[in-house]
Amino acid sequence: MKSITRRSFLGRSGTGIAVASVIPAVGAPLAQQESAAETSSSRSSVQLRVNGQDHRLDVEDRWTLAEVLRDHLDLTGTRLGCDRGECGACTVLLDGKNVYACSYLAVWAEGQEIITVEGLADGDQLDPLQQAFITHDGPQCGFCTSGQLMSARALLNDNPDPTEMEARQAMAGNVCRCSNYNRYLESILAAAKEGSRG
């Protein structure tokens, strides 16, 4: 896998906008067009461990983890809301920590344990947070729910018995357009009280 820093990724994203407006015109020198195509399709072979399963994938270096999960592994429980690191709908766990999958390159995730919402339940046994979300009417439209679950799981992994304020702070990166924050909070505190699996 090639080494891609977050700085170079962001730099590349920024130039991507500029490049889009200067796509080589018809009639541009062939070598110039080939060079542009080569730059935009740099690829790597990566091994991703997702929900306990290993996947060997050939990915474009610019693909985000969210793209790979949704479009190449059919794990569509990871939602795309803003696709720019602002809403939290795409949250997954990387080595137990919550990360915005829309703002994290797939190639960076190699060697880390990736858990998506599809990996939370243990067979038919729901994660205590999933059960608490149901019991306490957490989801309304449900669009943000998988991201809320993953951030809540990261919180309880680190802090199995959070205070209300600690839970509110931990969930600050997950926006809910239905504004059901109090029910989500109630669910998380209830799951913590009943004893999360960590």
Task: Select the residue interacting with ligand FES from 112, 116, 151, 180 (CB under 6 A).
Answer: 180
Asked if residue 69 binds ligand FES (CB under 6 A), the reply is no
Q: How far apart are CA 60 and CA 36, in angstroms?
A: 14
Q: How far is the CB of 56 from ligand FES (least distance, A)?
A: 25
Q: How far is the CB of 198 from ligand FES (least distance, A)?
A: 25
In the numeric block, which tokens belong to residue 176?
Answer: 């809910």
Q: How far apart are CA 53 and CA 47, in angstroms?
A: 10
Nearest CB to ligand FES, comparing residues 21 and 179: 179
Asked if residue 144 binds ligand FES (CB under 6 A), the reply is yes
Asked if residue 134 binds ligand FES (CB under 6 A), the reply is no
Neighbours of 60 (CB within 10 A): 15
The stretch among 44-52, 76-84, 120-128, 187-195 that binds ligand FES (CB under 6 A) is 76-84
In the numeric block, which tokens belong to residue 22?
Answer: 């200067």
The stretch among 20-28, 50-58, 119-127, 177-185 that binds ligand FES (CB under 6 A) is 177-185
Q: How far apart are CA 151 and CA 141, in angstroms?
A: 18
Asked if residue 142 binds ligand FES (CB under 6 A), the reply is yes
In the numeric block, which tokens belong to residue 32?
Answer: 């110039």
Q: Characterise 111 by phi-psi region: left (phi > 0), alpha (psi -120 to 50), beta (else).
A: left
Asked if residue 108 binds ligand FES (CB under 6 A), the reply is no
Neighbours of 3 (CB within 10 A): 7
Q: How far apart are CA 27 and CA 30, in angstroms?
A: 8
Task: Select the residue interacting with ligand FES from 55, 60, 94, 143 (CB under 6 A).
Answer: 143
Task: Select the residue interacting with ligand FES from 35, 53, 172, 177 (CB under 6 A).
Answer: 177
Nearest CB to ligand FES, comparing residues 51 and 174: 174
Closest to 73 measured CA to CA, from 114, 122, 13, 130: 114
What is the binding site for ligand FES (CB under 6 A)? 80-83, 85-90, 100, 102, 139-145, 176-178, 180
